[in-house]
Structure 1
């Protein structure tokens, strides 16, 4: 398992609050992913026939909606970055236009908080596969609470709700590290993240 731990210097730096570069990158991630979200809606088309018969199957794609929070958490590594990125992405998606309207912001809040809680459980000290998977699972749990009891899913049988929860958690655990770790490392390789731990980790590996 890949494990990335925060150094004492990084933990001290994190307690000082957000730097300008932290805010800039977090906002950039949120805006970019908000635009990407509109395209991600098309991912549901290939499984429309399945979800029409068994709606909980949509849970297999839940993890894609946690990506702004996971990516911001991985790169910035400061409490609040994941939530801010997810809320910005949700706002941009809503502003451009989608089928969910203002409820997009509710989902963004649940998902961003879920990622923050997942990272906080590890004291923002680990950012490897396991940590990102945990953040994805917690995000899935909070999103499920909202969807299962405040959307059309409220009318589903309990068995359907539990299957939906399991699929969402699995999606969050797999998609989060599968997409964000390679993407974060790819960005670090370009040098644009040298001001962040992930950039310094990349530079340290190159020196070995």
Structure 2
């Protein structure tokens, strides 16, 4: 089976996963919702900040691929989790369908404007990784926010996003095993970054008072009240 066939299969799997997530949770009423102004601002700010930080990350990846030969793309894959943080973070804070997708798309726009060496391709990459990140929450009907769900959101992010990069970076000829290994490393990196960074950043922002009006703030308020009573 060719590389093209493998990634066509991955696309079909992504579509199938999206359909399963939708039909499994369509009764929850959480698939077609609007965003408030504060939610849009939060997605924009997080997406832009992560996008600006993503540009030096991309430059480091290019450095890996320039000086590490065949191992460069794999080394780049290990730090790709940094590109995916916007999705799980905004999904965790806003807790609505599409939050991860919009945040990562804004991330892509910020990367283009801040001089990402990979050019316009990062716009499509941002959308794809945000879309798949959203599915991590969709599988649970946007009702579970544990570390395992965050890890799933981060791990799914590169599942479709790597497809255009295979051809952009010219590693399609490296073989199926090589490209699947790169994908596995990316998924592990995405999960690890999400586990380590998402909750601490979200809680820090919550304590700073900048997440008022979000679903995270509403969900955490009863817990904080209970802890105060116990104290």
TM-score if structure 1 supplies the norm length?
A: 0.84
> In the superposition, relative to structure 1, how do residues 32 and 153 fare at CA in structure 2: closer, same or farther (>3 Å)?
same
- Tell me what 1:4 maps to: none
- Tell me what 2:116 maps to: 98
RMSD after superposition = 2.4
1:176 to 194, 200, 204: 194
- Tell me what 1:22 maps to: 39
Q: Which has the larger radius of gyration?
A: 2
The alignment of Structure 1 onto Structure 2 pairs a total of residues equal to 198
Q: How does 1:21-170 map to 2 (within 5 A)?
A: 21-41=38-58, 43-44=60-61, 51-55=68-72, 56-148=74-166, 151-170=169-188
Q: How many angstroms does 1:57 deviate by?
A: 2.7
Q: How many angstroms does 1:115 deviate by?
A: 0.7
- Tell me what 1:5 maps to: none
Distance 1:143 1:51 in 2: 22
Q: Note the alpha carbon deviations across 1:152-191, whole angstroms, 9 max, x for none.
A: 1212121211211111111111111211111001111112
> In the superposition, relative to structure 1, how do residues 13 and 48 fare at CA in structure 2: closer, same or farther (>3 Å)?
closer
- Tell me what 1:186 maps to: 204
In the alignment, is the contact (CA less than 8 A) between 1:110 and 1:146 conserved in 2? no
- Tell me what 1:3 maps to: none
Q: How many angstroms does 1:120 deviate by?
A: 1.1
1:54 alignment partner, SS class? helix
Unmatched 5+ residue regions in structure 2? 1-27
The answer to which of 175-184 and 195-204 deviates more is: 195-204
Unmatched 5+ residue regions in structure 1? 1-10
TM-score if structure 2 supplies the norm length?
A: 0.76
